[in-house]
Each structure stands twice: as C-alpha cells, then as structure tokens.
Amino acid sequence: MAGRAPTIRDVASRAGVSVATASNVVNGNRPVGEASRRSVVAAIAALGYRLDRSASALRGKSTRLVGMVVPDITNVFFASLVHGVEALAERDGYDLLIVSSSEDAAKERRRVEALVARRIDGLIVVPASDDSMAAVGGGAHAARLPPAVLIDRGAGAPGFDTVHADCDAGGYAAARHLIGLGHRDIAILTHSKRLENIEQRIAGARRALVEAGLEGRERVIYGGHDLESLRGAIELELHRADCPTAIFALTNVCALASIKAARGLNLEIPSDVSIVGFDDFDWMLALRPYLTTVAQPVEDFASAAWRLLMLRLSAGEKGVERVELPCTLRVRESTGPARPRLKAVAEA
C-alpha cells in the first residue's frame, strides 16, 4: 500500500500549508499559528511521516550526530562512559556514532576522519595518547574538527575542553594508605607510559613516598595493554627475591592482572601482598578479599563531558574549559599490614 515514504511536501500539501510551515512544526525553529500547527500534526499522523535526518543534516547546520571514540569498549571503564554519554545524547535528541581506536593513534585518526566525514556536530574522545587529537587537528589538509571534549586523557591538550580525575590526589591517597600499613616496597603496575593521567597517579604516589622519607622506593612496571602481558609483567616482579609487599594497580585491568598474578603464585592477599586497584566496578565485588581501590566518578565524567559539549555547541567560541573530578579511595580488604621483608627475616 505505501509507495515511497511521505516527505515534508506530502505533509505540507495535505495540511494545506507551505513546506516551511510544516518544517517549522516538525522542528520548532520558528513559531507557527495554532491552526496550522494542528493541521500539520494531523497530516503527520495520518501519513505516518518521519523526518529524514539525512536530508536535514545536509541542508541544515546541525546533524544532531555526535561521535565518540574510545580505546576499547570491552573495558568496563570506557563502556560505562559510553553508557552515560548515550543516555544524555538520547535525552537531548542526538545520536551517537561510536568507534574504537584500539589504543592506536593512527587508527584513531582514521576513525575520527570517518566521523568528520559524517559532519558530526561534536566529538567526545578518550584519546589514545595525550597529543593524538591535537595531531588530528593539525597538518596541511587536516580534518576540520568540530567541538571536541577529551575525557580521561589529554588533559593539557590545547584547544580542547577536557574532563579528567584528580589523578595525583588519587595516587597520593593510595600510596599513603599503603605506607600507613607499613609498606616500603611498592610496585606500581600500569599499561602505558607517556600518559599524563598515568604519570600523575605515579607522581602522587611518589609524593607520598617522599613525604614519608621513602624517596625512590617505588618501582614502576609497564605491562602493555592486554591482561596477559600485564599479568606476566607483575608476576616477574613478584618472583624477585626482593619482591614488593604491595601493588598499586593503575587501572582496572591492571588490578585484575595483579590479582591473577598473586593467585597464580599462591600469594595470599593481603597477607603476602597488598593490592590497591583503580576504578570500582561490579566484578570487583565478587572477589574476595574485596578490593581496595581508587574509584573514579565515571558517571560524572560522562555528564561533565556532555555538558561541556552542549555548552560549546550553543555558545561557540570561548576559553577552553577543564573539569577535574575527585577520586575516592575505598579501603576494603585487599590491603593489610606489610609482611616482614624476606631480607629482614633472614637477618633475624
């Protein structure tokens, strides 16, 4: 029965008004008289008309399309970010184009260009590296980026609004907690160097160490992005004679890797080794002992990023805004008093 889908012209002619009026009813850009409005609404219902966003995207200045780039959607931290942003986008009538960078700046660039080719209104990115997005904006024939908000990483990148946690404070709190329990040899496990947020977690921990007169007692271990290589890296460290009495894992995947490594080596947590993780998600609450962790306010990340993006879309140019959100140390069961060091035991 239905031939083509009805267009705005069909609606207009059935309602006995002009296409402009019909259009204005559909997306209240300009006021419309009550009588016209009612007949347009009736025509829309009768015909089953639906706005074709492809067409309005081409003609109008807004596509109501926002791009989102994450390193890896299977990481619950990024998935939660997507979840939060998607809900906000729906509320405000936007659709989300989601792409994955696989932690690769080159791929990220390609994916962003694909998004730009869709004429997205804005962009929310957890960049693969701190400066990767700045690189996309530069160059001879660089993609002209729409307003973009960076989450979690790239906090200092010029030209972008950013949302990130107070990682220094988070690292400081975690290390202080461990030091307070008597730990003197702390391994810090992370996936990657040269990421500002990671550097700051380390810096915070270092600050606590220095304050306690333990300068240089931390060892930073870089384990790469996947669980197994992280586990391998920390396992190696735990095998040493002077192995650490505590691990500070700088991401949720690092925490998982640390736990697996400890388990694999038959080390009791926390009596043999204490663990402080990062982030706080459901699966952590199935572990026993419950994981002591530095929680990031991931829902607030999403809402702050969305707010910043909407602000910039409506307000246009203004100074770059940087939102810093607090971390919370959640002390649970995976941290306890440091065991006597092996050396000390031997000497005794």
By CB under 8 A, name the binding residues for a second copy.
2, 5, 47-48, 50-55, 57-58, 63, 72-74, 76, 79-80, 82-83, 86-87, 90, 95-100, 111, 113-119, 140-144, 227, 253, 256, 259-260, 263, 282-283, 285-288
Sole window of 54-62, 67-75, 206-214, 266-274 interacting with DNA (rule: CB under 7 A): 54-62
The answer to whether 144 contacts DNA (rule: CB under 7 A) is: no
Q: Which residues are within 8 A (CB) of 101 and not within 5 positions of it... i.e. 6 or more apart?
A: 69, 70, 71, 107, 108, 111, 127, 128
Per DSSP bridges, beta strands 292-295 and 328-330 are antiparallel
Question: How wide is the angle at C-alpha 297 spanned by C-alphas 296 and 303, nearest 5°?
Answer: 140
Between CA 333 and CA 275 the distance in angstroms is: 9
Q: Give the one residue of 42, 46, 52, 106 binding DNA; rule: CB under 7 A.
A: 52
Least CB distance to a second copy at residue 75 (A): 8
The answer to whether 56 contacts DNA (rule: CB under 7 A) is: yes
Sole window of 12-20, 145-153, 251-259, 290-298 interacting with DNA (rule: CB under 7 A): 12-20
**Among residues 48 and 319, whose Cβ is nearest to DNA?**
48
Nearest to 177 by CA among 334, 287, 298, 339: 334
Least CB distance to DNA at residue 112 (A): 18
The answer to whether 100 contacts DNA (rule: CB under 7 A) is: no
Least CB distance to DNA at residue 43 (A): 12
Question: Does residue 237 contact residue 294 with C-beta atoms inside 8 Å?
Answer: no
Q: Give the one residue of 31, 139, 158, 316 binding DNA; rule: CB under 7 A.
A: 31
Nearest to 277 by CA among 178, 209, 193, 135: 178
The answer to whether 61 contacts DNA (rule: CB under 7 A) is: yes
Between CA 119 and CA 38 the distance in angstroms is: 33
- Taking residue 308's Cβ as centre, other Cβ atoms within 10 Å add up to 25
Sole window of 2-10, 92-100, 173-181, 326-334 interacting with DNA (rule: CB under 7 A): 2-10
- Alpha helix (H) residue ranges in the chain: 8-15, 19-26, 34-47, 53-59, 76-91, 105-117, 132-137, 167-180, 196-211, 227-239, 252-264, 298-315, 342-347
Torsion angle of alpha carbons 173, 178, 180, 185, nearest 10°? -130
Sole window of 10-18, 169-177, 193-201, 302-310 interacting with DNA (rule: CB under 7 A): 10-18
Say which entry of a second copy, DNA, none residue 288 contacts (CB below 5 to 8 A, set by partner kind): a second copy
List of residues contacting DNA (CB under 7 A): 4-5, 7-9, 16-21, 23-24, 26-27, 29-33, 35-37, 49-52, 55-56, 58-62
